[in-house]
Amino acid sequence: MLIRGGDSLEKVRRLSAVVFDKTGTLTRGRPEVTDVVPLAGPEPTELLSLAAAVEQSSEHPLGEAIVRAAEQRGVPIAPGLSDFDYRPGRGVRARVNGEAVLLGNRRFMEESGINLAEAEEALVALESEGKTAVLVARASRLVGLLGIADPAKPEAAQVVAVLHRLGLRVLMLTGDTRPTAQAIARAVGIDEVIAEVLPQEKLAAIEALQKQGQVVAMVGDGVNDAPALARADLGIALGSGSAVALETADIALLGDDLRGVVHAVELSRRTVRTIKQNLFWAFIYNAVSIPVAALGWLNPMIAAAAMAFSSVFVVMNSLRLRRFSPSL
User: Which residue among the candidates 7, 21, 221, 256 is catalytic per the annotation?
Assistant: 21
Choose among 265, 231, 320: nearest CA to 3.
265
Q: What domains can be seen in the chain, in order of their start residue? A: 1-29+151-328 (3.40.50.1000), 32-149 (3.40.1110.10)
pLDDT digits (tens, 9 = 90+) for 28-66: 888 999 999 999 778 999 999 999 999 987 878 889 999
The answer to whether the CB of 221 falls within 8 A of the CB of 238 is yes
Q: CA 219 to CA 158: how far, in whole Å? A: 16
- SS3 of 162, please? helix
pLDDT digits (tens, 9 = 90+) for 190-227: 999 999 888 778 999 999 999 999 999 999 887 778 88
Query: What is the number of residues in the chain?
Result: 328
pLDDT digits (tens, 9 = 90+) for 268-310: 889 989 999 999 988 887 788 888 888 888 888 888 887 888 8
Tell me: pLDDT of 122 over 80. yes
| Residue 233 among the catalytic residues | no
Strand partners, 237: 220, 252
